[in-house]
Amino acid sequence: MARPVAVVRTGTANLASVLVGLRRAGADPTLITDPAAVRAADRVVLPGVGALAAAMESLGPSGLGQAVAERVAAGRPTLTVCLGLQLLLDGSAESPGVSALGCVPGHATRFQGDGLRVPHLGWNKVQPAAGAKLLTEGYAYFAHSYKLDQAPAGWTPAWTTHGQPFVAAMERGPVVACQFHPELSGAWGLGLLTRWLEA
């Protein structure tokens, strides 16, 4: 039987690929725009593409963002994708003065370096730290210009490198925040989605 998953409609996400990826992993995804549905759902996915400020314009006034933050703080099954990871933080250099959800300490910074291609597009090896349960070693697809440089206390990170090391993903119990796109990361990404659904 397919596992129900609530997918938050942020207004800044490639929802089609996320929904397809979840279905392939055995989920029955439903798009939601109601904070009460975020609180009631067994599993929630927060996807995101584009600018943090635009996403917060959708999540903040609607109360969706607060509901997601409450889930993450409580350690309830939640998966975030790409910009979704950065939305959990305090903020980002992409949108100075704009507060993100603030349920995970940290600020996203822009890639910098002579000759370094920005945005970072393509496949990179993901290497989890000791103790990771859902994140495994493999190759993931990335598409972003901002990243988290240090893993916050209490989270088990996985790392990758584009010019410099950064957090490819991090987990804390059934909460997994991915900078990459698991739904676009082939069999390895499908495996991650499946493990999260079953956690």
Torsion of CA 85, 89, 93, 95, to 10 degrees: 90
Q: Which listed residue (70, 82, 103, 198) is catalytic?
A: 82
Single-letter amino acid, residue 122: G
**DSSP 8-state secondary structure symbol assigned to residue 53:** H
> Catalytic: which of 120, 144, 162, 181?
181
The residue annotated as part of the active site, out of 144, 162, 171, 183, is 183
Ordered DSSP codes for 64-76: HHHHHHHHHHHT-
Active site annotation includes 82? yes
3-state helix, strand, coil in the chain (%, to 5): 30, 30, 40
- At 5, the amino acid letter reads V
User: How many whole angstroms separate alpha carbon 70 and alpha carbon 178?
Assistant: 18
Q: Which two tokens stand for residue 20?
A: 């397809």
* Amino acid letter for position 112: Q
- List the catalytic residues: 82, 181, 183
